[in-house]
Structure 1
């Protein structure tokens, strides 16, 4: 059965009668984090060889064997499968047909919506299916606050907004940055804007954001340099670039539509959450001057097409990403000249 967003944390921390949890989606870091939470809810010591079995792709054929094993020290067992696909469906069905209290956790990043495994798990009352996708906006704000609260660290609103704008699409990378900030602040500390800026730096995707803002503003030299630094030097993925671009385009379109409806630019921009970082307001404004709502919708569709193209096996994804940035720059420059 599908687990709705409001019930995810409760389900992970208390799996109850569930026999299996399928974690799918685009955020591999969030999948791993949620798998860890569910496993620890059953066995706090994940290094216990009698109660926890972690199976990589090459060990999936051991699922049935492990599901029938007994815990020699007592307590419920966990079988944790990674890199899962439809190939485990038959073994999974056989395990559920047997009497057992073992919890099977399946990490299935990229599992298609038409997957047979996913379809089976969504209909079976003993299975919980949880989608794990990159968080944004208020959901991401809440996640970062919750992570910091776990370290007894507070954060100023402007510092949180700055960090949310720069958070990458992977939960593991975001948690790594949060842990670095918590170490910097110390238990009981509070983080201000300058603290966060000093600690986070480019590691959370600033180069990608630089490329997105510059591309939509028509600043070709800046956009090309930032995109190349992100993709070639920093090792960011073209898919991450596409998602950062898409997020920026959606925010621009939201403001553009409000302006077309009669709202002033400043008022429309103030409604964005998180707000535009003050050092980027000029670039944001230049992009608003260049793009119409219809053009922004087309840019969003083209960027979604870029993400799909980059996911194709053997595609020259870095070249596609750099070319897309250059194309957006060209469109913005032409629009600015017309206006």
Structure 2
């Protein structure tokens, strides 16, 4: 009986112990199930994948005539090469033909893809009890495994990723392995020449909406980074984020900076002040916020807040000019930060 644990699957795929038999990839993560089947088929195909004879069936198609599976497995390949049968959406309707094949697959590798299956499911039980069967559970990745996958991908591509790239990417993506792989491919292609990735690159390429660029706007304005500010503003406004809302959020941000600066002026370190906040700012922003607290004095922050309040008022009186008012106001504050 061979029933692998979820954390053992990746290691097994690197060195499968069978070249024929029944392989069952199952679980709630459809993307990971597909990827597991694909990786297994690539390995089973040998050094010359093009020579492999891969036949693909859909589960419902076979359910209406299960004998097709046996006939295909017993057929002799006209062109030679490894015979592999891939069955998508496999169900317990295939138990009978698989029972006939489990002890004598005739050199054929049968790769099944299925949804989440309970331990008592007939299909899973059959594979786990078979000498030439391997069941590969595919469950949603943990933060640890996904972040390890990201780092491994960047390392293999020779890409230097800033320390906040992986945490930011993990925050944006869900647990679907296929989606994660697709986004990683996009990022490695983007960084193929520069061999470097930043948090701004991740937000630009992988975020689903402009809201995720708001932190970048706040920190670029407060930190005096004009180029980063321009990029973040373009992205947020292109995603139809309300410029009046952005001005209001900037006002709150600078009010927070002034409140924190008051505590720094009493002798506390910027890090101690930030660590004491509830909710605590996201760890990826701590460095930027510390820099802003060093750049801005209380009088300068008071002046910045007045300017923002004026921008909010102007944008309400002239909503058609809200974009221009936002850009003018943030650029002015950015210049103030840069001269401190």
State the TM-score bracket (shorter-chain normalisation).
0.5 to 0.7
Question: Contact (CA 8 Å) 1:85, 1:111: kept in 2 or not?
Answer: no
Give the distance between the partners of 2:77 and 2:276, measured in 1 at CA.
61
- Kept after mapping to 2: 8 A contact 1:26/1:110: yes
Deviations 1:87-138 (A, max 9, x none): 1111111111325121111100232333111122222231111111111221
Q: TM-score, normalised by structure 1?
A: 0.57
CA distance in structure 2 between the aligned counterparts of 1:176 and 1:100, rounded to whole angstroms: 36
Matched, 1:29 2:27: no
**1:8 pairs with 2:14:** no
Query: Could you say if the C-alpha distance between residues 99 and 195 of structure 1 is closer, same or farther in structure 2, counting changes exceeding 3 Å?
Result: closer
Q: Partners in 2 of 1:26 and 1:122 — Cα distance?
A: 18
Structure 1 stretches of 5 or more lacking a match?
Answer: 208-264, 270-274, 280-339
Residue 113 (1) aligns with residue 115 (2): no
| Partner in structure 2 of residue 183 of structure 1 | 189
Give me the CA root mean square deviation. Answer: 3.4
SS at match of 1:202: coil
**1:101 and 2:102 aligned:** no
- Tell me how far apart the structure 2 counterparts of residues 120 and 179 of structure 1 sit (CA, whole Å): 36
Counting only pairs closer than 5 Å after superposition, residues 124-135 of structure 1 correspond to structure 2 as 124-135=130-141
Instruction: Kindly tell me the number of residue pairs found equivalent between the two proteins.
Output: 220
Deviating 4+ runs (over 6 angstroms): none
1:79 aligned residue: 85
* CA–CA distance in structure 2, aligned partners of residues 182 and 55 of structure 1: 33
Which residue number in structure 2 is paired with residue 257 of structure 1?
Answer: none
Distance (whole Å) between structure 2 residues aligned to residue 82 and residue 206 of structure 1:
36
User: What are the Cα deviations for residues 126-169 of structure 1, in whole angstroms up to 9, with x where unaligned?
Assistant: 11111111112211101122233443333222110111122112
1:176 to 1:91, Cα distance in 2 relative to 1, 3 A: same
What is the correspondence of 1:235-314 to structure 2 with a 5 Å cutoff? 266=275, 277-278=284-285
In structure 2, the partner of 1:157 is: 163
Q: Which moved more, 1:141-150 or 1:86-95?
A: 141-150
How far apart are the structure 1 equivalents of 2:32 and 2:130?
23
